[in-house]
A and B are shown apart, each in its own frame.
Chain A
Amino acid sequence: MSIARAAAPADPAGREETGGAAVETPIRADRVTKHYLGGQRVALDDFSLDIRAGQVTALIGPSGCGKTTMLRLIAGLEFPTHGAVTMHDRPIAGPGPERGMVFQAYTSFPWLTVVENVEHGMAIQRVPRAERRERAEHFLRLVHLADYADSYPVELSGGMKQRVATARALAQVPEVLLLDVRFGALDALVTWEMEEMVIEIIETQPKTVVLVTHDIQEAIYLADRIIFFTRQPGRLKADLPMTFKNGRRFAKKDEMLSDPGYVDMEKRLYAMMREEIKGRIS
């Protein structure tokens, strides 16, 4: 299998209209500005963005560009200073189970076993007990952790803990999955494994995904569309559909690396990153 089967319902180019109907955009940021420290630090400046249904949107940019802030605004963990972030045209008033999130820090609950962790979100949503266990086991298989159901998180490696958190977020069946997983914190092989697992998951459970990364290769591999942020204050630098993938996703990362479209895209992104770095150093 060289390329995964046809993916996202929406065209990754995202611009075209399918069958005359406009592409659905469940989440929108409309001219969002976010100040910290009473305006001393501007994380986002007049930023507008629409997240398209069924697509993987990667937010990328140098550190301090506000990409994490944007993710937290969508999660409802923070609120904009100006402008609005909406979901289905209603302002986001707080966190909710329809927006599942995987955090950069390890957030598995240490006092619960792996399977209990995955069940926790369903317990909050009052899913019947028997169904909880069944669904939890399904999602653990999806993240290749079925053999560790009864382990405690302390017994797992960093990559495995992130997989527990991913299974937990998926088990709450969110409409939108928010990933703040800088896999780069893990070692190179585990990073690779995690990235391919994310693709596998999105292929089997089609989802609208927003993820934050500072790794150019990771962004190109995972995303259908990349949103490039400028350094502080965060503004939109580029909105890049991954057209070279032709509406599909690579199941294996190494197969993407030799694709000429990938090489071009990587060059473009490195050039952008270079511009941002220059702005800082000079």
Chain B
Amino acid sequence: MAAREDLVAATSQGQVSSTAPLHRQDGARGPSAPPATPPRQRFFEIHAITTRRQSILLGIAGVLTWLGLWEIAHHLTPAAEQKFLPGAEQVIVKVAELLFSTNYLADIAKSLYRIYVSFAAACLVAVPLGLLMGSFAKVKALVNPTVGGWRYLPAASFVPLLLVYFGPTDMAKMALLFLGCVFFLIALILDDVLAVPKELVESAQTMGASRWHIVTRVIFPAAAPQILDSMRNMIAVSWTYLVIAEIVAATDGIGAVMMRAARFLHVDVIMAGILTIGILGVLTDIAFRQASHALFPYTHRRR
């Protein structure tokens, strides 16, 4: 406010445009000031700027540290028991070996299929339901108490039930993966939809938009980037349920390979399975990020 009064005062006296400017505006410039040396920044500075190169190097350093600790633990283990804690390089070699020598690729494909189909089904239920619950308070009042309760039921406890219903089929495993994430997904998407600023809805209303238009063309696109982010977080949870789903009466899939290996104490294969899941999880995460960039370019732009 003060700044503005100054401006007004200055203008009424005709100073803003007519009096001599503080700096020369005619383009003539003297020699530039000596280069400034910014104060030396400490390596661990709060909110310090980290260059891309530094980030990559630090990331690699973190991985190497972890692998180093693993190797040390491996070598500290008595030789007779080293097969229970194989070295990192042995596990990595094992992954490669599995990929080339067995039909491990088919197992991976099977696991991926189960995850993606069950997750897609969960999204097909959760996105419309979350959107309706977030848009219509009465739908939320109807559905939320039930869904909220379901979240607290451990998905693994449905294994016996699903076996009775579906037998040792793909359906049983995908149903478990579905149950494991759908209720959390609904809750997350509900929050995403509720976070849409009410002014966006009101401005659409003052444009004469129908309820259908507002839900599908305003609320949904407004929440979509966050919804995709929620999906990205929930598919990680889906991966964590994979082994539980494939432990029971599975003949194929990464989890089944690991369970078979456990029977023969092939710890290297078990660890190779864990590593495979980790890598696939990271790749899924990257795919979601890429999708976000492609679908919502505006969320990554800045002034």
Tell me the A residues contacting B by CB distance below 8 Å: 75-77, 94-97, 99-101, 103, 105-107, 109-111, 120-121, 124-125, 152-157, 165, 168-169, 172, 178, 184, 187-189, 191-192, 217, 254, 257-258
- Chain B interface main SS type: helix
Contact assessment for B206 and A101 in the assembled complex, using a CB-CB cutoff below 8 Å: yes
**How many Å from the CB of A254 to the closest CB on chain B?**
5
Contact assessment for A124 and B197 in the assembled complex, using a CB-CB cutoff below 8 Å: no
Task: Note all chain A residues with C-beta closer than 8 A to B199.
Answer: 103, 105-107
B222: Cβ under 8 A from any A Cβ: yes
State in angstroms the CA–CA spacing of A129 and B45 once bound together: 54
Partner of B208, one of A95, A152, A155, A168: A95
Contact assessment for A125 and B8 in the assembled complex, using a CB-CB cutoff below 8 Å: no
State in angstroms the CA–CA spacing of A171 and B221 once bound together: 22
State in angstroms the CA–CA spacing of A153 and B197 once bound together: 15
Whether A109 touches B208, Cβ cut-off 8 Å, given contacts A77-B202, A189-B7, is no
Closest 8 CB pairs of A and B: A97-B208, A121-B207, A152-B298, A188-B4, A95-B205, A107-B203, A101-B206, A105-B199
Partner of B207, one of A105, A106, A110, A120: A120
Contact assessment for A188 and B296 in the assembled complex, using a CB-CB cutoff below 8 Å: no
Contact assessment for A155 and B202 in the assembled complex, using a CB-CB cutoff below 8 Å: no
**How many Å from the CB of B303 to the closest CB on chain A?**
5
B12: Cβ under 8 A from any A Cβ: yes
Q: List 28 A-B contacts (CB under 8 A).
A: A75-B206, A76-B205, A76-B206, A77-B205, A95-B205, A96-B208, A97-B206, A99-B206, A101-B202, A101-B206, A105-B199, A107-B199, A110-B298, A111-B221, A120-B204, A124-B207, A124-B210, A124-B213, A125-B207, A152-B301, A154-B298, A154-B302, A155-B301, A165-B203, A168-B203, A172-B208, A217-B8, A257-B11
B209: Cβ under 8 A from any A Cβ: yes
Q: Which residues of B, 266-303, contact A by the 8 Å Cβ criterion? A: 296-299, 301-303
Give 9 new A-B contacts, CB below 8 A, not counting A97-B207, A111-B222: A76-B206, A103-B203, A107-B199, A111-B221, A154-B302, A157-B303, A187-B3, A191-B4, A257-B12
> Please, which residue of chain B has its CB at the minimum distance from the CB of A125?
B208
> Please, which residue of chain B has its CB at the minimum distance from the CB of A217?
B8
B224: Cβ under 8 A from any A Cβ: yes
**How many Å from the CB of A73 to the closest CB on chain B?**
13
Contact assessment for B208 and A103 in the assembled complex, using a CB-CB cutoff below 8 Å: no
B200: Cβ under 8 A from any A Cβ: yes
Contact assessment for A154 and B303 in the assembled complex, using a CB-CB cutoff below 8 Å: yes
Contact assessment for A155 and B200 in the assembled complex, using a CB-CB cutoff below 8 Å: no
Contact assessment for A107 and B3 in the assembled complex, using a CB-CB cutoff below 8 Å: no
Whether A188 touches B7, Cβ cut-off 8 Å, given contacts A111-B222, A154-B301, A157-B303, is yes
B218: Cβ under 8 A from any A Cβ: yes
Task: Note all chain B residues with C-beta closer than 8 A to A155.
Answer: 301-303
Partner of A94, one of B205, B221, B298, B302: B205
> Please, which residue of chain A has its CB at the minimum distance from the CB of B200?
A107
**How many Å from the CB of A135 to the closest CB on chain B?**
14
Total number of A-B contacts with CB less than 8 angstroms? 95
State in angstroms the CA–CA spacing of A77 and B207 once bound together: 12
**How many Å from the CB of B119 to the closest CB on chain A?**
24
Partner of A109, one of B4, B218, B299: B218
State in angstroms the CA–CA spacing of A137 and B203 once bound together: 20
Contact assessment for B224 and A111 in the assembled complex, using a CB-CB cutoff below 8 Å: yes
Task: Note all chain A residues with C-beta closer than 8 A to B203.
Answer: 101, 103, 107, 165, 168
State in angstroms the CA–CA spacing of A6 and B299 once bound together: 45
State in angstroms the CA–CA spacing of A60 and B206 once bound together: 22
**How many Å from the CB of B2 to the closest CB on chain A?**
9
Task: Note all chain B residues with C-beta closer than 8 A to A152.
Answer: 297-298, 301
**How many Å from the CB of B87 to the closest CB on chain A?**
49
State in angstroms the CA–CA spacing of A38 and B147 once bound together: 32
State in angstroms the CA–CA spacing of A75 and B1 once bound together: 29
Task: Note all chain A residues with C-beta closer than 8 A to B1.
Answer: 184
Chain B 217-229 interface 0/1 with A at a Cβ cutoff of 8 Å (1 = within) = 0100110100000
Task: Note all chain A residues with C-beta closer than 8 A to B210.
Answer: 124
Contact assessment for A110 and B209 in the assembled complex, using a CB-CB cutoff below 8 Å: no
Chain B 179-216 interface 0/1 with A at a Cβ cutoff of 8 Å (1 = within) = 00000000000000000010110111111111001000
**How many Å from the CB of A213 to the closest CB on chain B?**
13
State in angstroms the CA–CA spacing of A97 and B209 once bound together: 8
Contact assessment for A100 and B7 in the assembled complex, using a CB-CB cutoff below 8 Å: no
> Please, which residue of chain A has its CB at the minimum distance from the CB of B295?
A111
Task: Note all chain B residues with C-beta closer than 8 A to A258.
Answer: 12
State in angstroms the CA–CA spacing of A254 and B203 once bound together: 33
Task: Note all chain A residues with C-beta closer than 8 A to B218.
Answer: 109
Contact assessment for A124 and B209 in the assembled complex, using a CB-CB cutoff below 8 Å: yes
Contact assessment for B208 and A110 in the assembled complex, using a CB-CB cutoff below 8 Å: no
State in angstroms the CA–CA spacing of A168 and B218 once bound together: 15
> Please, which residue of chain A has its CB at the minimum distance from the CB of B9?
A257
State in angstroms the CA–CA spacing of A75 and B12 once bound together: 37
> Please, which residue of chain A has its CB at the minimum distance from the CB of B214?
A124
State in angstroms the CA–CA spacing of A165 and B199 once bound together: 12
